[in-house]
Amino acid sequence: MQHNKYHNITDNIEVDCVAEGAERLNCQKREVVRENPLTVEIEGVGTYTMMCMPCDEMALAVGFAFSEGLLRNKNDIHLLKVCPDDPLVIRMRLADGNEEKKEQRGVLITSSCGICGSDAIEKIVQSLPTAGDSLRITKEELARMPDALRERQDIFRRTGGTHAVGLIRAGEIIAVGEDIGRHNAFDKAVGKCILQEIPTAGCAAVLSGRVSFEMAAKAARAGVELIAAVSAPTTLSVEVARQCNITLCGFVRGKEATIYCHSHRITADG
């Protein structure tokens, strides 16, 4: 029987499996992660529908609004609630005085959605803040980050179908976002911190997958000083990291890692 924690997050589905040496297909049950549309209605700004895993929806909505530059902290949220008629709709009203609002209605954001257009990308890069320079970690601490995140990837252990992002301060994970989409996972982690009024500036972010332009941009907006990913970065993510003073580490596996820029934050073991 499925654990209550995962109610409505996964389904048990009958599948046929191919096994080495078996003469016929083997019928088994597999736990598969759900993918649902979540609509975020931001009053006076727009309506956004994103494909996501149905958990931590409030954090996702807040993190998404933060990433879009619609809010800076919890005080910028006047209202945040689930629609009483539809649990897959979240309504948000921004506090008075938030002048930087975008008009973008009816947008469908998929679980792997990206930004299109070189002009849009150039404008985003130019608008990104520069990270601080307070973080220092040892090579050993860097090597431990992926394992620490993996221990918190509950849904991945059951389904193998999710990404995760962990925010780390002083060697401790302060927030984890897990979702079918890497972008959603980052927004969930940041959203949790905003709702709990935990600052993200000066943190490290550990990623379960590759580093795209948008992942690096989300890190920059959150004031993250170091990204540690188990996979590769893209050229645009390296460009963002260089410009924004973010230490970008890829292929962090075991005792090895590739540092693409700003390696001064990685110190000798001590």
Residues marked active site are found at: 113
Q: How many residues does the chain have?
A: 270
The CA distances from residue 198 to 58, 89, 122, 228, in Å, are: 16, 25, 30, 20
- Contact partners, residue 221, CB within 8 Å, separation at least 6: 66, 67, 69, 128, 129
Directed axis angle between helix 57-67 and helix 182-195, to 10°?
A: 100
Q: How far apart are CA 229 and CA 91, in angstroms?
A: 33
Q: How far apart are CA 167 and CA 226, in angstroms?
A: 10
Q: Tell me which long-range contacts 151-156 makes (C-beta under 8 A, separation of at least 24).
A: 152/176, 152/178, 153/178, 153/208, 154/5, 154/6, 154/178, 155/6, 155/9, 155/10, 155/33, 155/53, 155/55, 156/208
